[in-house]
């Protein structure tokens, strides 16, 4: 059986990537850093084992906090990726950067307490105060 290849890239096409197979998890992040980095009220991320992601052209990486780096296109500025510092085993890719994102449905909301207050979360997926380890919010 052939592995599924899932391509994606930035707005201008300067940064391209291909992922092998399905992601580990897809989530919606409501933290202020993701909002600021993307300009969007919430960002959808697909988490992959780093070994299953191949960049055809590398993004530029910038340390965005004491804990993480973000990858973006050096030409158009599109947000592409996120990973925890020191963690080369996993990388999160922006769902909106995939060529065919329709089946990358989020399974959880992270940092839901930080959401923009006018954004109502009305789906039935688990919602966490902060990260996955912070405890679920009763719904």
Domains and CATH numbers, the chain: 5-107 (2.170.150.70)
Q: What's the confidence (pLDDT) of residue 139?
A: 45
What pTM value is reported for the model?
A: 0.89
* Contact between residue 71 and residue 82 where contact means Cβ atoms under 8 Å apart: yes
Average pLDDT in the 24-49 region? 95
With a CB cutoff of 8 Å and minimum separation 6, the contacts of 110 are: 27, 28, 29, 30, 31, 128, 130, 131, 132
Strand partners, 25: 47
pLDDT band of residue 1 (cuts 50, 70, 90) is very low
- At residue 17, the 3 state secondary structure works out as strand
The more confidently predicted of residues 121 and 52 is 52
For the chain, percent of residues with pLDDT exceeding 70? 91
Task: Give how far Cα 130 sits from Cα of 19, 43, 106, 136, Å.
Answer: 27, 14, 16, 9
- Confidence at 135, pLDDT banded by 50, 70, 90: low
pLDDT-derived band of residue 129, with 50, 70 and 90 as boundaries? confident
Residue 68 DSSP SS3: strand
CA distances from 40 to 20, 45, 120, 124, 137 (A): 27, 13, 15, 22, 23
The C-alpha R_g of the chain, in whole angstroms, comes to 15
Q: Residues 92, 82: contact at Cβ < 8 Å?
A: yes
């Amino acid at each position: 059986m052939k592995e599924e290849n899932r391509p994606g890239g930035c707005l201008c096409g300067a940064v391209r990537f291909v992922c092998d197979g399905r992601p580990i998890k897809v989530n919606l992040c409501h933290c202020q850093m993701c909002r600021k980095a993307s300009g969007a009220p919430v960002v959808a991320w697909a988490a992959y084992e780093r070994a299953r992601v191949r960049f055809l052209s590398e993004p530029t990486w910038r340390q965005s906090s004491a804990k993480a780096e973000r990858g973006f296109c050096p030409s158009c500025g599109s947000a592409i990726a996120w990973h925890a510092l020191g963690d080369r085993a996993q990388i999160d890719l922006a769902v909106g950067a995939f060529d065919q994102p329709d089946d990358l449905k989020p399974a959880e909301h992270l940092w839901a307490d930080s959401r923009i207050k006018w954004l109502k979360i009305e789906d039935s997926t688990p919602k966490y105060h902060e990260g996955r380890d912070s405890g679920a919010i009763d719904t």
